[in-house]
């Protein structure tokens, strides 16, 4: 009985197919996940830098206007037109003499007030919220009768900046101790 051998080109073709499938497997299982993780880390870091810049902007707005704002457009307009912000952007460190800014540089190496309003991953506006606090005080005389009721309403004493992509938040609407803290710090 004679053995029949397959031609060499069939074996070569199968080796090429196997090598191609191994290359595709390596790309899908190793290379692509690394690129996805790197992109996700970039989005997270960039978004957090933007939220830290928004925190500084909210604090400057509060120092100037006496309250926080929940309007992103008015905050950005304030950043572009305020002389206080201009002076802080051009300030020099008194020890080293080098330029110093309270705003963090983004990955582009500069601070762009138009771009800090948007989340990096989904390109949606950051969600700004401010609190409204109602307090009532009742004055009662020695006979137990209500003399007067004082009511005060405070708007914008606390703020919250949330990332629509879920990379964190800055501030808190309920707790004064967390007023300027970031969720990742």
pLDDT digits (tens, 9 = 90+) for 55-101: 999 999 999 999 999 899 999 999 999 888 887 777 777 777 777 77
Place of tokens 């009511």: 151
Question: pTM of the full predicted structure?
Answer: 0.74
pLDDT higher than 90, residue 33 = no
Question: What are the residues whose beta carbons fall under 8 Å from the beta carbon of 129, sequence distance 6 or more?
Answer: 70, 159, 160, 162, 173
Question: Reduced to 3 states, what is the DSSP secondary structure of residue 172?
Answer: coil
């Amino acid at each position: 009985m004679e053995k029949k051998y397959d031609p060499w080109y069939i074996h070569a073709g199968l080796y090429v197919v196997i090598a191609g499938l191994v290359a595709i497997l390596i790309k899908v299982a190793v290379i692509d996940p690394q690129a996805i993780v790197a992109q996700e880390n970039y989005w997270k870091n960039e978004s957090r830098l933007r939220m830290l810049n928004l925190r500084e902007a909210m604090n400057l707005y509060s120092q100037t206007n006496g309250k926080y704002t929940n309007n992103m457009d008015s905050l950005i307009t304030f950043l572009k037109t305020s002389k206080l912000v201009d002076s802080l952007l051009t300030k020099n460190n008194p020890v080293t003499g080098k330029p110093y800014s309270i705003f963090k540089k983004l990955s582009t190496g500069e601070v762009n007030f138009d771009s800090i309003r948007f989340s990096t991953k989904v390109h949606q506006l950051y969600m700004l919220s401010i609190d409204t606090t109602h307090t009532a005080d009742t004055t009662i005389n020695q006979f137990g009768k209500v003399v007067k009721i004082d009511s005060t309403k405070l708007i914008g004493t606390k703020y919250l900046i949330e990332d629509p992509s879920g990379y964190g938040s800055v501030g808190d609407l309920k707790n004064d101790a967390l007023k300027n803290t970031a969720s990742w710090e």
